[in-house]
Chains A and B, each alone.
Chain A
Amino acid sequence: MLQKLYDWIDDRIDITPLWRDIADHEVPEHVNPAHHFSAFVYCFGGLTFFVTVIQILSGMFLTMYYVPDIENAWKSVYYLQTEVAHGQIVRGMHHWGASVVIVMIFLHTLRVFFQGAYKKPRELNWMVGVLLFFVMLGLGFTGYLLPWDNKAYFATQVGLEIAEQVPFIGEQIKILLAGDAHIVGAQTLTRFFAIHVFFLPAALFGLMAVHFLLIRKQGISGPL
C-alpha cells in the first residue's frame, strides 16, 4: 500500500534522488559506535538535534494553552499543568529538555574542540555552531520568564541588569529587551514571548540548515 503510494509519486516526480542525496551516505568506521565504542562521542550533535525537535514540538503544543499576558500567563500555565491531561508531561518535556539541550550542545562542543575538528576547512561551521549555542542560550533566557512566577520574574530582572552592563549601549539594550526603562512587566513578557517563539526559532532554523549543509559539503572530520 505505502510502496504503491510511493511508487505512484516517484513515477511522476522522481523523488528518490532527493532523499537519497540526504539520507544515503556512508557512516565512516571511525564514527560508528558499532566499530569503536568510544565513537559514541559523535552522537552528541545528533542528540542535540533530537532534543531540539522535542523542544519545538512540545513548545508548539504548549502555545495552545499559554497566553503571554501578565494577568493570565501564570494562570494559564497553572491550568495547563493541573487541569489538562498530560499537560504536566508536555511542560515537563519542554522544561527538562531546555536543560538537556544545553548539556548536549556543550558535550558536542567539547568533542569538536578536543578532537580539533574545528580546524581548517571547518572553521566556518565552528562559528555557526557558536552562534547556535548563543541562540540556544537566548531561548533558555527568554523561555525562563514565560511562566511569570517569582523565580522567572527575579531571574529576568537579574538577566536584564547583566545586559545593562554592556559598555555604552547597555541601557539601550536593556530597554530594548524589557520594553520599558524601569518596569519588568507587560511589555517585557510579550517581547520575551515573541523572541522566544518567533525570532530565535527562525534564527535557529536558518543556522541549523547552514550547519547541516556544511557537514554534508565537507564531510565528517577524519580519525584522530
Chain B
Amino acid sequence: MSEKKQQVSRRQFLNYTLTGVGGFMAAGMLVPMLRMAVDPVLQESAAGDLVNVGLAVEDITNEPQRVDWKIDQVDAWYESKVGKSAWVYKNDNDEIVALSPICKHLGCVVSWEGSEQFPDQFYCPCHGGRYHKDGQNIPGTPPTAPLDVYESKVENGMLYLGMAHPRGEA
C-alpha cells in the first residue's frame, strides 16, 4: 500500500464537476415533470361518502336482491353520474350484507342464482365462477377470493353504501 495521497487529476476533476452540474440541471428539469406524471399514484384515494341507495331496510330479505344506484363521480375535470350495483340480503344474524357483483376471477358481473344448475349460489357467466351466499368462493371454480363487501350503514330506515373492499381488509 502506498502512502502517497491520491491525486485527483485535472481531467477527473472536470469530469466530476461537469457531470455533477449537468446532472443537477437535468434533475431540476425532469423532477417536476416526473412528479406531475406520478401525481395520480400519490393522490390519497378519496373515501367516498356512503350514499342512500334507495332501499328501505324493511325490504331487505334473506334472499339476495340486486340494488342499483348512482354516485356522483369526480374524474379530474369531468363530473358524471356512475352506476353501481350490489347484492343485498340479511344473514342469519340479521346483519345486512352488501356484496359487490364483480367477480374476483376476471371482473365479470355475477348474479344470484345466475345459473339454474346452481341454486343458492352466485354465478359468474364468463367462466363459471361460483360463490356461496356469504360471498365465499367455491373451491374448484376460477375465483381465488371471496366477493368484495360494501361499507354500509343504516340511517332513517334506509340503506347507505360506500366503497367495496376486499374481505378481511376493512
A-B Cβ contacts below 8 A, count: 44
Give Cα A65 to B76, complex, Å.
9
Interface size class of A (residues with CB under 8 A): 20 to 34
Q: Give a binary string over B66-89; 1 marks a CB under 8 Å from any A CB, 0 the rest.
A: 000000000011100000000000
Distance to closest chain A CB from B122 (angstroms): 39
B-side contacts of A86, CB under 8 Å: 31-33, 35-36, 39
Q: Is B1 close to A, CB under 8 A?
A: no
Listed residue (B32, B35, B42) with the most chain A CB atoms within 10 angstroms of its CB: B32
What residues of chain A lie closer than 8 Å to B78, measured between beta carbons? Answer: 72, 75
A90 touches B77 (CB 8 A): no
Inter-chain CA distance A84–B42, complex, in Å, is 10
Contact A78 B77 (CB under 8 A): yes
Q: B76 touching A64 by the CB < 8 A rule?
A: no
Contact with B along A81-113 (1 / 0, CB 8 A): 001111101100100000000000000000000
B108 is an interface residue with CB less than 8 A from chain A = no
- Bound Cα distance A135, B37 (Å): 28
> Which listed residue (B30, B39, B76, B77) contacts A85, Cβ 8 A?
B39
Chain A residues, CB < 8 A from B77: 72, 75-76, 78-79
Q: Which residues of A contact B46 (CB under 8 A)?
A: none
The closest CB in chain B to the CB of A53 belongs to B29
Which secondary structure dominates chain B's binding surface? helix
Q: Which residues of A contact B37 (CB under 8 A)?
A: 61, 64
B32 contacts A90, CB within 8 Å? yes
Instruction: Please give me the residue from chain B that is nearest to A77 by CB atom.
Output: B77
Asked if B76 and A57 make an inter-chain contact with CB atoms under 8 angstroms apart, the answer reads no
CB distance from A170 to the nearest CB of B (A): 37
| Chain A 58-81 interface 0/1 with B at a Cβ cutoff of 8 Å (1 = within) | 100100110000001001101110
Given A79-B77, A83-B76, check contact A57 B33 (CB 8 Å).
yes
Query: Closest B-chain residue to A87, C-beta based?
Result: B36
A61→B56 CA distance, assembly (Å): 48
Given A58-B33, A61-B33, A93-B32, does the pair A87, B76 have CB atoms closer than 8 Å? no
Q: How far is the CB of A74 from chain B (nearest CB, A)?
A: 9
CB-defined contacts of A90 to chain B, threshold 8 Å:
32-33, 36
Contacts of A87 in B (CB 8 A): 36, 39
Q: A54 an interface residue at 8 Å Cβ cutoff?
A: yes
CA distance A64 to B36 in the complex (A): 9
For A65, the chain B residues whose CB sits under 8 A away are 36, 76
Interface residues of A (CB under 8 A from B): 54, 57-58, 61, 64-65, 72, 75-76, 78-80, 83-87, 89-90, 93
10 contacts between A and B (CB under 8 A): A57-B33, A61-B36, A61-B37, A64-B37, A65-B36, A65-B76, A78-B77, A84-B39, A85-B36, A86-B33
